[in-house]
């Protein structure tokens, strides 16, 4: 267990740039995060009013990559989601995972084609070793259906679990500075990993905490959004 001014296994409603100052360098086993992409994602396809808050600061690609890199142990690694519309360029990227959405949706309201994939930058440090080598860099996972979304860019739990299982051991610590509705935290709890998370929106912190408090973590999709 790492010693920080922050508690492990807690999501903090604060700016990650401030929160990261409280985490020592060389102390995190895995950075796994889905930062703002710079695509101003706010779907207009809902029949009723859009139930999701707009993503704070989603006007450009924003990820404090250098700071996150410094927080990692020499045996650690980072997986950072990004959009093909806003490419992520960094010489430390060893591979790019393509997440193929099996149940992709229609294009945006401006007449774009449907977006069937997203990208994940894989950035291992010098002593990092994968736990499993049987995966290619093309992963197929269903996206979260629109009627089950707790956050507008929520990632499927099975996808997040796969990243954690093939890169960490039980008791390791995972950092997600853009926690959203808490999928990384839920996966860590299921897999007996520790987590530290930051999220600017109190609404999404509340949703994440409710997911974590459920007796059966696999049933998180029954949360009543109208109570938020």
Domain range summary for the chain, segments of one domain joined by +: 10-227
Provide CB contacts within 8 A for 158, sequence distance 6+.
141
Cα–Cα distance measured from residue 197 to residue 181, given in angstroms and rounded to the nearest whole number:
11
10 Å Cβ neighbour count for 222?
8
Give the span between the Cα atoms of 228 and 221, in whole angstroms. 14
Mean pLDDT, the chain, integer = 84
The whole-number pLDDT of residue 64 equals 94
Q: What is the assigned CATH class of domain 10-227?
A: alpha beta
* Rounded-to-integer distance, Cα 115 and Cα 106, Å: 7
Stated pTM of the model = 0.84
Query: Exposed (0-12), middle (13-18) or buried (19+): which is 51, by Cβ within 10 Å?
Result: middle
Q: Is the pLDDT of residue 172 over 50?
A: yes
Give the tens place of pLDDT for each residue, 124-162.
999 999 998 789 999 999 999 888 888 888 999 999 999
Model confidence at 51: pLDDT above 70: no
């Amino acid at each position: 267990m790492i010693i920080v001014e922050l508690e492990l296994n807690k999501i903090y409603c604060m700016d990650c740039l401030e929160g990261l100052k409280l985490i020592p360098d060389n102390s995190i086993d895995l950075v796994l995060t889905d930062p703002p992409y710079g695509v101003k994602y706010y779907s207009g396809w809902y029949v009723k009013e859009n139930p999701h808050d707009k993503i704070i600061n989603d006007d450009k690609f924003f990820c404090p990559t250098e700071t996150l890199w410094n927080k990692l142990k020499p045996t650690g690694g980072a997986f950072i989601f990004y959009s093909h519309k806003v490419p992520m360029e960094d010489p430390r990227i060893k591979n790019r995972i393509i997440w193929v959405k099996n149940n992709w949706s229609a294009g945006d309201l401006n007449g774009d084609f449907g977006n069937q994939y997203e990208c994940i930058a894989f950035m291992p440090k010098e002593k990092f070793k994968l736990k499993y080598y049987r995966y290619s860099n093309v992963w197929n996972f269903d996206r979260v259906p629109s009627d089950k979304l707790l956050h507008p860019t929520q990632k499927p739990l099975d996808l997040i679990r796969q990243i954690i299982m093939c890169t960490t051991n039980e008791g390791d610590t995972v950092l997600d500075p853009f926690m959203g509705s808490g999928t990384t935290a839920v996966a860590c709890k299921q897999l007996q990993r520790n987590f530290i998370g930051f999220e600017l929106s109190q609404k999404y912190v509340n949703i994440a905490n409710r997911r974590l408090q459920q007796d059966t973590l696999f049933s998180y999709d029954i949360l009543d959004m109208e109570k938020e």
